[in-house]
Amino acid sequence: MARTKRTKKERKTKLLKDFGVLKLKQVTAEDHGYAYQFFLVEGRDGSGHRIRKKFKDVEEARTFATANVERVANDKELRNAISTDLEPEQIAQAETAFRRLRGRYSLDEVIDYFLRHFKAPDKEITFTEARKKFLDSKEKEGKRERSIYQLGCTLKSFRDFMQTRLKETTGMERECLVHEISSGDVEAFLDSQKNKTGLLRAKYSTWNGYRSNLSSFFRWCSAKGRLWCSENPVTNTTRFEQRLLKEQRPEPDVLSPEQAKALLADVAVFKGGAYAKFYALLLFAGLRPTEAVKLAGHAKRDELIDLDCGEIVLPAEVTKTRRKRTIEIQPNLKKWLEAFPGEILPPKNNSRSLQGIRKRHKLTPDVCRHSFFTYFVAKFDSYAKAARQGGNSEHMVKEHYESPAKKRGEQAKKFWTLNPPTVENAKIIPFKKSA
């Protein structure tokens, strides 16, 4: 039977001599049915570089191996003979440093960078401990509860991220220290944020918001008197321009006059109209829900809503911005306040009822306030006036509501004529003030 021609390369290797760092081998290779023989010298020199060379003659291979073994030995003796003031432990550290750098940077470059960007902190403190002290200080400063909560959530997410990052890079489970955190850590955290679906990257506004919260924390940690870190690592991280934020921002949700009418018709009869005044203030005075709740519990709430003067005065302790605000009572709002002279909200157990109203009418967050600004700008064509009464900056009002207001000129006329139904037609049971 004829021999089948082999196409797969086959090798047989025989060790002829072991020189320690180098080995001399006899290799018989078969490729596509043809056999051939060569001598291979392979190994590594004193610097760790690979040596691999083929020879046809065994004596040439042996001469090459012997010469290189002598060169490696001489290099080793030379290194050992170099005079140095370093201790053996320091030499070992230097050798380890070079191996870790892998030729990407020189030792001088690494040291220069370290000395420029690192300063030993006055006190080593864990991120968890610093976070608690920071939030306590903000509470003492009178920061809004909502703002403190948001700061706390951001810092907690960052702490969890850093603990995972430390475990992956060092293999150790331990608390992260404030002075150890770098700009790269912050950038990696921001880059890891996802949207609500968990599939896509978070919006630029979320990135900037988290960045601002972290910057506030590290700026506080690096302030004089603490110096828990040498600099604010957030400073050199990416911050997206307002132009990019605006491109991602959708138009605010706005109730049509028909939707607002349906909502008001519902609250006018629901539980005797107990929530009619509350929603009238949200829609026609632009109060935030939290502001309306605080106004409802204010000791001088009856004096603050002055129907004779046609003004609602929100003191600093009620407003989100902590600045006093005066709102002009529009004619239709006055009718709602006169038709429902009782409390703004039931004093107890109102959360479930409010949740039910929002669910029935599919109200998105702040949709009543968005509607107020949109129809106010559409009617009065004044961003400044809308900003003063709504408690926002003129720039913010224009940026958010200029486009929707231009589309709703005719709808604005209907919105500002939404009056309360008559008591007879709506079967309203007036909601009395609590004693």
DSSP string, 12-59: EEEEEEE-SSEEEEEEEEEETTEEEEEEEEEEE-TTS-EEEEEESSHH
Whether residue 182 contacts residue 188, with contact meaning beta carbons closer than 8 Å, is answered with no
Is the pLDDT higher at 113 or at 242? 242
Whether residue 330 contacts residue 312, with contact meaning beta carbons closer than 8 Å, is answered with no
- pLDDT-derived band at 226 (thresholds 50, 70, 90) equals confident
For β-strands 22-31 and 34-44, DSSP reports them as antiparallel
Whole-number Å distance between alpha carbons of 370 and 122: 48
pLDDT of residue 268: 94
- pLDDT-derived band at 73 (thresholds 50, 70, 90) equals low
* pLDDT of residue 132 exceeding 90: yes
Beta bridge partners of residue 13, listed in sequence order: 27
- pLDDT-derived band at 245 (thresholds 50, 70, 90) equals confident
Whole-number Å distance between alpha carbons of 281 and 207: 33
- pLDDT-derived band at 122 (thresholds 50, 70, 90) equals low
pLDDT of residue 76: 59
Is the pLDDT higher at 433 or at 377? 377
Average pLDDT over residues 191-216: 89
* Predicted confidence (pLDDT) per residue in 2-34, tens digit: 444 444 456 778 888 887 778 888 888 877 767
pLDDT of residue 168: 83
Average pLDDT over residues 138-143: 89
Average pLDDT over residues 338-352: 90
- pLDDT-derived band at 162 (thresholds 50, 70, 90) equals very high
* Predicted confidence (pLDDT) per residue in 247-265, tens digit: 788 889 999 999 999 999 9
216 contact partners, CB below 8 Å, separation of at least 6 = 151
Average pLDDT over residues 268-282: 95
pLDDT of residue 99: 74
R_g of the chain computed on alpha carbons: 38
Q: Mean pLDDT highest for which of 29-43, 388-402, 411-425?
A: 388-402
pLDDT of residue 329: 96
Is the pLDDT higher at 354 or at 82? 354
Least reliable range by pLDDT among 130-134, 242-246, 265-269, 300-304 = 242-246
Strand-by-strand arrangement of the 305-306 sheet: 305-306, 311-314, 325-328
pLDDT of residue 426: 45
Start-end of CATH 1.10.443.10 domains in the chain: 257-426
pLDDT of residue 115: 65
- Domain 257-426 class in CATH: mainly alpha
pLDDT of residue 264: 96
Least reliable range by pLDDT among 21-25, 59-63, 106-110, 267-271 = 106-110
238 contact partners, CB below 8 Å, separation of at least 6 = 187, 190, 207, 211
Average pLDDT over residues 167-175: 81
- pLDDT-derived band at 430 (thresholds 50, 70, 90) equals very low
* Main-chain phi, psi angles of 144, to 5 degrees: -60, 145
Least reliable range by pLDDT among 104-113, 130-139, 408-417 = 104-113
Average pLDDT over residues 153-173: 89
- pLDDT-derived band at 120 (thresholds 50, 70, 90) equals low
